[in-house]
Structure 1
């Protein structure tokens, strides 16, 4: 079958479109014929070597959607022909993929393959950020960095649906218009405005209840100054580079703050949580409360171009690859 692999770490050019053999699904696995594959920053981190990979050559990609075409021993939750989506299953950039059944879910009729591939990782991330890490409730004020990004667009709409006042940061006027359409109450262009000063102005000095930060180095430690006492700083990405080490006493000095870096694999480690979180995501999409824009579509063979566009921030929303 056709797949994208890299044999060494480096830029997008190391991604190679190759013929490979795929083994039979092992115990507890389902083979999925991919109809759409999600592209995420973690794929880039693995390609560059910022995140380790188990071996080289390596097939990137962690999420996708398609139909079940084969079953491994012990799988009784799925049948051949089922429409499924999956996440946290390395090796997705291929025509087919052997996926651990524990990280696959049935797709409701209202969710297309392309939509599923564009929202599984980003949408489940938004779910645990808003519904598990810090439980957003009516009256809260939340700050979402990179509100025009894949997670940001979902989290902005969902937080607004939950009754929060949403402040979003963006890097251009075009992106500001987009997040306004997503219901963001206040938009800050961090390329022209001091986002800390603007947050303090918007909140009349109170600060936010929670900051969701997928940017990393460029927005830290300033994000801490956007929080109320006992507020939550939730870091979940390093688009601008990793946050440097800091003195934990900083959290005391800035208002007895809480800070955390939650990971999706921890949240979906229990099968019942994987199912419940996915159902919550699919329900909020099906209800219309969270609208998912059409993703940026590229052929699987053009994976290098997809990585380049994502790295250089030429995209808004999700990007998917079509085998």
Structure 2
């Protein structure tokens, strides 16, 4: 099969495209022929060698994809040949074929475009987890989202807005600002302006996936407010003094999606809740940017450039 792979950690130059051995399945797995493969910041960290990656020779990146079931293990009853499924937590996804444990596979609803599902899989389940497990905001709350026009940000913003929450955020360009406003945000600030004047202490919750902005996020929080810290796309966060948080009655909440997406029942429940927003037209996303798997280097470069608005997909 064809795959995007690398033998050593480093920058995008280590990525190679070519033939490697196809995976085999056991009795509890299905073989998925990928149609769309999701690219995420975590894949960049793995390629650099700064984030956990499954052992394999050569290394194959990627953990999420959508595709067709082309082989079924002998103990599998929930899937059949020809089913369209997606997964968000199975390694070696940057390839034409992936062996997927049956409990990790999620059936794609027939009334949703597979490309949409591929575009929202991991980011959508992340947004759902941030909103419903960590944020738990009430109607009328004021929240602030860093990187609101990114993959997670777009979905999270619309999810919260549809739940009656007032959403504010920050982004880098006028085009992204317009997009976020069209998706229901109250006000969007531009990063290259003195945007945070008079905003400290104004927000009940700040969603921060940037990392290095953690102190700034804490300043934006109200007394008894909270910061949801869920990523480091902009760099490692600074050290935080817990005594200062105590004195201001502010909290930092964080978590790992995988501790919540822990079994087939949880995957089904959470994906159905996510899909309901799309089925009821409460969330719309920008068109994904699609690269061929052979052009994987260019896709990684594009994600690292910060120019993307929404999801980047690889297509075998």
Please tell me the TM-score bracket, short chain as reference: over 0.9
Task: Tell me what 1:208 maps to.
Answer: 203
Q: State the TM-score, normalizing by the size of structure 2.
A: 0.96
Query: Deviation of residue 181 (structure 1)?
Result: 1.0
- The 3 A distance-change label for structure 1 pair 198 and 33 is farther
Q: Which moved more, 1:65-74 or 1:271-280?
A: 65-74
Task: Tell me what 1:293 maps to.
Answer: 286
Correspondence list, 1:90-169, <5 A: 90-169=91-170
Task: Tell me what 2:182 maps to.
Answer: 181
Structure 2: segments with no counterpart, 5+ residues: none
Q: Deviations over 1:21-52 (max 9, x none)?
A: 12321242211111111111011010011203
Query: Deviation of residue 198 (structure 1)?
Result: 4.6
Task: Tell me what 1:245 maps to.
Answer: 239
Matched, 1:228 2:204: no
**Which 4+ stretches in 1 moved above 3 angstroms?**
none
Q: Deviations over 1:80-125 (max 9, x none)?
A: 1111111111111111111122221111112222212211100000
Task: Tell me what 1:85 maps to.
Answer: 86
Task: Tell me what 1:263 maps to.
Answer: 256
Equivalent pairs counted in the alignment come to: 315
Query: Deviation of residue 173 (structure 1)?
Result: 1.8
C-alpha distance in structure 1 between counterparts of 2:81 and 2:137, whole Å: 39
Q: Deviations over 1:198-246 (max 9, x none)?
A: 534xxxx5x21111111111x1211001112222211111111111332
C-alpha distance in structure 2 between counterparts of 1:310 and 1:81, whole Å: 32
Correspondence list, 1:17-32, <5 A: 17-32=17-32
C-alpha distance in structure 1 between counterparts of 2:52 and 2:251, whole Å: 28
Correspondence list, 1:31-50, <5 A: 31-50=31-50
CA contact (8 A) 1:64 1:116 kept: no
C-alpha distance in structure 2 between counterparts of 1:28 and 1:236, whole Å: 32
C-alpha distance in structure 2 between counterparts of 1:256 and 1:80, whole Å: 54
Matched, 1:53 2:53: yes
CA contact (8 A) 1:285 1:292 kept: no
Query: Deviation of residue 185 (structure 1)?
Result: 0.3
Task: Tell me what 1:310 maps to.
Answer: 303
Matched, 1:279 2:280: no
CA contact (8 A) 2:23 2:98 kept: no
C-alpha distance in structure 2 between counterparts of 1:151 and 1:54, whole Å: 24
Structure 1: segments with no counterpart, 5+ residues: none
CA contact (8 A) 2:29 2:99 kept: yes
C-alpha distance in structure 1 between counterparts of 2:223 and 2:157, whole Å: 23
Q: Deviations over 1:159-183 (max 9, x none)?
A: 1100011011111222111111111
Matched, 1:14 2:14: yes
Q: State the TM-score, normalizing by the size of structure 1.
A: 0.94
CA contact (8 A) 2:286 2:309 kept: no
C-alpha distance in structure 2 between counterparts of 1:130 and 1:50, whole Å: 27
- CA-atom RMSD in angstroms: 1.4
CA contact (8 A) 1:43 1:60 kept: yes
